[in-house]
Structure 1
Amino acid sequence: MDSDPAPRTVADHLQRAELMYDLDALPDARAEVEAALRLDPLDPDVNAMAGAIALAESDPDEALVFAGAALAHDSVHRRALIVRGYALADAERREEAMQAAASLLEVDHGSWIHHVHYALITRRAGAAQPALDAAWNAVRLAPDQPRTHLALAAVAESLAMKDLAKRSRQAAADLDDLGDGITAGPNATQTLPPEARRAPVRHVDADPEDPKWREKIYGPGFFRGALGRSILLGIAVIFAVPALLGTDIQFGARMLMAVIAIAACVCWVTVLRRHRGSE
């Protein structure tokens, strides 16, 4: 009889996690990285990979935890630094994201990869000019790399610089000697570094196959869910219409309705701004 296969190592799990990650098979990638973490929970490469997966799953808080664990054992770990920057930007911690992006250039100012990530992180954090400057620097450092032109295109697109974005995408397509399928169309930015890509997230999805659908509708608190916010908005509309159009209603009653409508509207906006991102 054949002997049992040798147990898989951390490197084996990490290699498979990378493969699944590149194929956008995130559940499989997570399963592999969790298996690797059970074998060595302190491995910086595994923690950085786990952070990248958490980023792709739109969980910046978890990504920060894994990136921090990796950086605790290797303070200049490239992927961990990159993941930390994107996670801070996604979490809307803009100043910290800018500092994290700057740390990439401090580690290696001559790396075009670092300039690409600096540009994409700072743009995500809302800094337009530094992002554009870094994207141009990446192109100057590696004009023969399609990804530098794609990064410039992504930044230019976000700044409504359509001509520059179009030229940059075309330059990337012209340099695509490896057959990566880069085109000059607007979807060319899908070949950006995976840490910079995000799947669109629907804030409210009542699909019964989703185990969290009740939480998304009702929320952990009544007004954190979509149902509670809808009720607030409904109250605002119900009282605003007669307050504005009810000419046959007494002035005092109309004023009361207006106050209720304004209060409900203010509550709706406040709750929406605080809790929309958590869904």
Structure 2
Amino acid sequence: MNSCSEAAEDLLALQACYPEAGALVLTPAEEQALVLQSKTGLAGELGATLHIPDVLASGEPISLNISLPIAYPREGPSLTVHSAAPRDVTAELQAVVKTTAEASQGLPCLLACVAALVAAAQDLQSSTEQQKDENPVEADARSVKAPESPDPMCCRLFWFHHIKSLTKRKVIVQEAKNLEIGGFSKPGFPGVIVAEGSLAALEGYTATLRALRWSAMAVRGEEAGGLTRRLPLPLREVAGEGMGELASLCRGAGVEALFLSALKLPTV
């Protein structure tokens, strides 16, 4: 039985997402506290600083100071964005992180907050670059938005050489829950995830999965759906490592054709 505290699980999952040297930095005291909680499950404050690689805000690097209280996740984290970007840009990124944390309502949210921060920074950077090439008339036209409509569901099948790491398996399930993605995850050799959600949610989920570093990972298939979900929400891990149960679940959910074609098996 895993005795790791929820705060330690979240921080270890973030460490798995950003294994680059110098990305997730802990002081000796923070490192000691993380090791203790990961082994004993004892509650306590945890902290770290994440220097997000390859993501800029107005051309400047971004870091996130992380403080997880004793009562995390019942009590929300303290997350502070640091950057040499203009003050209004940093404030906007801070607001995104705060909103994401508050929306989690007592659930582990560290990965979701970091993903939201990265997405917001990339959007701002892209917007800044586009504005350099636009005239005022074009910019005004782009600011007019059509009425929003419900996002259609989309199914995506991921193939992995293997899914063995317990930390990665927890990230797979938790991040799907954070993004309201349904479906199934089969650990073992090979690893397979069948995920369903909005296209935006699946793109964010795909980015998180790729960040975990795999021996081999590929999106083997994708299928557009309607407004009604076919796969159960939230995504859950399938018991055992055989393909039989996953095939049966996909058949029952009406996505057997995607499952078979993505695994390069003949459809009936």
Which TM-score bucket, shorter chain as reference?
A: under 0.3
Higher relative contact order (CA 8 A, sep 6+): 2
TM-score using structure 2 length: 0.28
Higher strand residue share = 2
TM-score relative to the length of structure 1: 0.27
Larger Rg: 1
Counting helix residues as a fraction of each chain, which structure ranks higher?
1
